[in-house]
A and B are shown apart, each in its own frame.
Chain A
Amino acid sequence: MNSSRHSIPGLLLLLLSAGLAPTLNASEPTSDQLAFFEAKVRPLLVKHCYECHSTEAEKVKGGLLIDSKAGWMAGGDSGEAIEPGKPAESLLMETVRYGNPDLQMPPKYQLSEAEIAVLEDWIAMGAPDPRTGPAVAKAAGIDWEKGRSHWAFLPVARPEPPAVKAAEWVRDDLDRFILAGIEAAGLQPVADADRFALIRRVTLDLTGLPPTVDEVGAFVRDPDPDDAALAKVVDRLLKSPAFGERWGRHWLDVARYADSVGKTRNVPFPYAWRYRNYVIDAFNADKPYDEFLAEQVAGDLLEARDAKDRAENLVASGFLALGSMDLNERDNEQFTLDRIDDQMDTLGRATMGLTLGCARCHDHKFDPIAQTDYYALAGVFASTQTLSGQQNRQGGNKDYHQVGLLARLDAGGDAPKTPAAGQAAEISRLTDRMRQLVAEGKKKNLSKDRRAELRREVADIRKTLAELGGPDVGPGSDAGKKKKKKGAGDGPVDPNAAYAMALSDGAATDLALRVRGEPDIKGDLVPRGFPTILKPATPVTLPEAGSGRRELAAWLTAPEHPLTARVMVNRIWAHLMGRGLVETVDNFGASGAAPTHPELLDHLAGRFVDGGWSMKAMIRTIVLSRTYRLGSDQPASHVAADEGNRLYWRANLRRLEAEAIRDSLLAAGGMLAPGRPDGAPFDASVGGDLAKTNPGKRGGAKAGDPIARPERSVYLPVFRSRLPGMFTVFDFAEPDQVNGQRDVTTVAPQALFLLNNPFVVDVSRRAAERILEQELPDETARVRHAYAYTLCRYPTEAETERALAFLGAEPDRETGWTALVQALYSAAEFRYVP
């Protein structure tokens, strides 16, 4: 029934467009019937329906035309409107009777009883209708030919680096692509940045921390030429653990990483931090990007060398379990489809720059992604168990946190394991059944036998649930004994227990297309598969058993995939150069930006794949290029020719991210604790709905404003909707969804934070104390130190004069120095990469 509803309009459209409009009804209406139609029905339809449901309508609503027989026979987005001869089964009658509160026609007023009766009679007599006309207002559909020709879907080319005039300027082939563009505009690149600027730039870019005074000194005094001196610095930085902390965080933005689920019941993810550590470690170990992706998409299915490797793979697969979900969603189907949508959207934009989520409700409006493509790939996730450790509330007192929906990392000495296929569904089924039983048990007039039966089944279910690691519910359980406060739920959870968020395979199943994305309006089943536009030459067949994620990972990381490498090298470029070659780093589709340097993008993508997908190698290549080294001069001629610096003739000034600002503040004050704190970023006192339990204000061991903690920002908890104020004000990535490029806003609250926040005052005081403690000849030398600590350079004479005058006007020496350091921290220069 459901599938036929959907296929009829499709078939009809096909026939009509081929000029073969069929006879729609074999039995011709009688003249009496036609008279009735003309006298009663047509005027009624014209008066009440045509405004929205005719070819003349300004905008056809609900995809339904009612000004021709073909129109209503084709039906609309909600299905067929009329079942000739069967008023009771006709959607039209339900809507005019206002039987369904979500679908009432006409929407502004109800028809009179007499009018409704006319429609009923008309449909009962078989809906005789002499009107001819098209079934659909306008044909839609995807132009596949045009879609295929979009640059991003074409194979990665291997362009020859262009010839350039100033060949001596070039350090790497990539410089040729840049220089060719600059020369073509009749310009030259500006001079290189000086070494003070360069070491600050490269150290912040690679580690998110400023260089120490000694590091600056060593580099500016290094007698080697720039190329060699810079290479030494870069290799040192790439080996620093701080590198993974910086670049891992970039990926965490893309992975919409968070330590809580967000939305209406903002319950923590106690084990998300393991995924965070995995990402940081992967960058530090230079895990090849193809492996890195494969582990995140299908880590649970990959061969493992040993238990440790297996655990790491499982943790990696947590990537697709970290989504922001509405745990208050009562409709399980909706919840499941929303979860899949998060996975589709995240996978699509993070790895391919494809907005797959746009095809959930209809064919993609801009890109060649059909709605069937969406449901084909969605089937892979429908065949997957998402072990987020949480479930939506379905009534009763069930906890949101569910240990049974996690991967165990220490299965009693065995290898780490995930729940068996179908376990999540089974737990859900049993808890639902339990609720029914409990409800029945409350009835008064039950027979003794039935009561005994109920007791037995309840006991059995409790036992099974315990074995499955499901919730303890029903009579006799803790949950059953005391009614919990709504939304509080969830007792203390130890975030250091040996669990991980992960994926595991469920029963292989194809998904039915959902008309307009509505969970309960099902179309045809769509066989699992990959988007049509990206089908490889040799077709991939997904196994009958298993989700197909292993195949998905292989397909995604195939060297010939046109998007995977391009998207990642573009992300790396954007982080280092301030703007992607494709400016919309998460959208490579037709609605995204076109590449400014398409050949360079392909050149880098090709090298990335050929070089074994090494992210460190790609980063090294770019930071050792001449282009990266450019200074920031702005000759008027260049500004006139290319104001926006699209050609990269100079370095872009870039503001630091919230974390780098905070870490720099701590580092300059000597307050930053190096290394990674052990275990989870919060303790068992943080639980339940964070909107109610308010972490930070209760007595947990790590309470207080998290920004005052000494560890690097990447190790602070990321609770959705509850980010530290400093993070919000400096444009931290909203962790609800993929976010490959941070916003840069410049707002007054940032100035207020720097001027008045106790944390800033405190780090300023500590840095001032550090300067005053040292044996230095005079205030001038101290000012020199203050500049070196905070801005990694020495002050000019004028700046020294200014600082001394400022200090001289403050009677209290420590206050004066604190205020001076704070001014240096607050200056734009401190938070901009030169």
Chain B
Amino acid sequence: MKTCRDTYTPLTRRGMLQHTAAGFGWLAFAALNAGTARAATGGGAYQSPLQPKAPHFPAKAKRVIFLFMQGGPSHLDTFDWKPDLMANGGKTASGDAAGGRGGKLLAPQFAFAPQGESGLPISELFPELSRHADDLCLLNGMHTSNAAHPQATIALHTGSINFVRPSMGSWITYGLGSANQDLPGFITINPVGGGGAQNYGSSFLPASYQGTRVDLGEGGIPDIRNRHLAEGRQRAQIDLIQEMNRDLLGKHPGNPELDGVIQSFELAYRMQTSVPAVLDLEAEEPATRERYGLDNEETREFGTQCLMARRLAESGVRFIQVSKGGWDQHNNLKSALTRNCAGIDRPIAALLQDLKDRDLLRDTLVLWGGEFGRSPQDQANGGDGRRHNNRGYSMWMAGGGVKGGLRHGATDELGGTAVAGKIGTHDLHATILHLLGLDHTRLTYRYAGRDFRLTDVYGEVAKEIVA
């Protein structure tokens, strides 16, 4: 499906930045000296683009943690229990039911058992997560339009395959602002996979809404550390810079860019403290670190990300993404899935537990999943691999106003194609926005002469899953 190609008109973004006086980019805080020079221009006081904004209607969720599994995790071995596939392993599939391509069926490689009071069937790969089954809402009717990794990944993040568009985190931060003005509103930890920066880019939305990339090493954010001046000396240096900036502003009273420069230095200075502090996991109790698996080689990396995500969520960051690659099991399905799931099971369970303990799960939407799923068929009749499958796969949600212990949607008997409770990419986005109190048809941004939406002209909210 085509949509209009990008037609860049700088009026919108520049206009906003230069003329509405909302221009000071990410992380501005309420003006230091708002009003001082304002009378000269008649402009309003500066307002950070990240100031919290009211949703369209009362929200169930206030923030999102997206656990992105890049590569296409097999739904058939994790969250979509298919007894018929188990019964028919090794037989040759026919017809559309199995994804339209022939070949031998590969039975689920792991045992499923009902979990929790709800009895959600979850694979044995997730012993820890299964203890939270009654909080999970399995989305078994997912589908997407493209079966190639880069395209499907970009679609999941931005809604578009063909065009560079703002990512959902940018849209959400644009729609709601952020609760903490000392931190970015949208943070992606260790992003992986196809599409690169597009997956957290703001495209035509102002740069304030761009995802800030946090890497696990080196303080997380580029140039966040002052390594060359004593602490007091850097403050003196900034004071000197700010005096010069105020002199210049005096010659250009009311210039929003210059006021923005002044604020950007104050904020940068505070970020040097706030960012490393929130990312400092040493501040956590040893027992907590252990629950996230930081003491274990297998779980350390993802556990670190999950613990950072919890700390960022507590600090009021609006949209947090955590990523793990390596889910493309064309072969070595059994060993790779075992390893992957072991790597995330404990950390995710700890994250959900912590959110619950802090009463944050109520209004934090946790979303788990990849860009697509895998085929019921055997990759090459080798008994240990599956092909890509965009026609049916699974994600899950927890918290944030979704019904727990619910299995929503379904694939056909063999798990190839979504047939009920279908949720496509735009529907997923519409639903996430809905939980956040945003009407996906009203969250628009005018660019190149027309109003753009995250969901383009599509999207249906999956109301059935809303608690």
Contacts and interface: CB of A to CB of B under 8 A. Distances in A.
Interface stretch (B105-113, B223-231, B377-385, B430-438): B223-231
B66 to A, nearest CB: 21
Contact of A584 (B11, B229, B233, B252): B11
A738 interface: yes
Interface string A708-738: 0000000000000100010000010010111
B248 interface: yes
Contact of A743 (B1, B13, B96, B248): B13
Contacts of B241: 823, 826-827
B7 A587 contact: yes
Nearest to B271: A748
B227 A756 contact: yes
A741 B10 contact: yes
Contacts of B14: 741, 743-744
A752 B223 contact: yes
B391 A738 contact: no
Contacts of A802: 240, 243
A345 B10 CA distance: 16
A287 interface: no
A590 B233 CA distance: 54
A773 to B, nearest CB: 21
Nearest to A104: B422
B271 A586 contact: no
Interface string B191-231: 00011111000000011100000000000011111111100
A746 B100 contact: no
A341 interface: yes
B248 A361 contact: no
A110 B419 CA distance: 8
Interface stretch (A241-249, A607-615, A632-640): A632-640
Contact of A591 (B9, B25, B229, B244): B9
A210 to B, nearest CB: 16
Interface string A581-605: 0011111011111000000000000
B358 interface: no
B45 to A, nearest CB: 16
B9 A586 contact: yes
A64 to B, nearest CB: 15
Interface residues of A, number: 90
B264 A632 contact: no
Contact of A653 (B4, B194, B255): B255
Given A355-B7, A584-B10, A737-B8, A365 B450 contact: yes
Contacts of A780: none
Contacts of A108: 422, 460
A636 B226 CA distance: 42
Interface in B11-51: 11, 13-14, 17-19, 23-27, 40-43
Interface stretch (B82-90, B144-152, B302-310, B318-326): B144-152
A591 B450 CA distance: 8
- Chain B, interface size: which category? 35 or more
Interface string B423-460: 00000000000000000000000001110000000001
Contacts of A593: 11
B260 interface: yes
Contact of B268 (A109, A345, A725, A751): A751
Given A101-B391, A328-B148, A358 B7 contact: yes
A755 interface: yes
Contacts of B43: 643
Contacts, number: 233
Contacts of B243: 802
A632 B252 contact: yes
B11 A583 contact: yes
A819 B233 contact: yes
A555 interface: no
Contacts of A518: 2
Contact of B245 (A110, A655, A827): A827
Contacts of B419: 110
A222 interface: no
A516 B252 contact: no
B233 A749 contact: no
A761 interface: yes
B237 interface: yes
A656 to B, nearest CB: 12
A711 B442 CA distance: 48
B4 A358 contact: yes
B253 interface: yes
Contact of A829 (B9, B145, B248): B248
Nearest to A725: B222
A464 interface: no
A747 B25 contact: yes
B257 interface: yes
Contacts of B18: 744
B293 to A, nearest CB: 29
A632 B5 contact: no
Interface in A349-364: 349, 355, 357-358, 360-361
A573 B13 CA distance: 20
Contacts of A349: 7-8
B448 A756 contact: no
A644 B255 CA distance: 10
B341 interface: no
A366 B449 contact: yes
Contact of A634 (B40, B240, B244): B40
Interface in B250-272: 251-255, 257-258, 260-262, 264-265, 267-269, 271-272
A644 B19 contact: yes
**Most chain A CB within a 10 A radius of its CB, from B3, B23, B238, B241:** B241
Given A355-B7, A747-B25, A634 B252 contact: yes
A827 B4 contact: no
A778 B65 CA distance: 59
Given A357-B4, A745-B17, 17 more contacts: A102-B145, A264-B150, A341-B5, A589-B449, A590-B449, A639-B41, A643-B43, A721-B197, A731-B207, A737-B6, A738-B8, A745-B208, A746-B264, A757-B223, A819-B229, A826-B265, A829-B248
- The 6 tightest CB contacts between A and B, nearest first, are A591-B449, A747-B25, A746-B260, A751-B268, A264-B150, A517-B2
21 contacts: A98-B96, A264-B151, A361-B3, A365-B449, A366-B449, A591-B449, A639-B254, A691-B194, A740-B10, A745-B17, A745-B208, A747-B27, A748-B25, A748-B271, A756-B226, A756-B228, A799-B247, A806-B236, A806-B237, A818-B228, A826-B265
Interface of A: 98-99, 101-102, 107-110, 263-264, 326, 328, 330, 338, 341, 345, 349, 355, 357-358, 360-361, 365-366, 516-518, 583-587, 589-593, 632, 634, 636, 639-640, 643-644, 653, 655, 691, 721, 725, 731, 734, 736-741, 743-753, 755-757, 761, 799, 802-803, 806, 809-810, 815, 818-820, 822-824, 826-829, 832
Interface of B: 1-11, 13-14, 17-19, 23-27, 40-43, 96, 100, 145, 148, 150-151, 162, 164, 194-198, 206-208, 221-229, 233-234, 236-238, 240-241, 243-245, 247-248, 251-255, 257-258, 260-262, 264-265, 267-269, 271-272, 391, 417, 419-420, 422, 448-450, 460
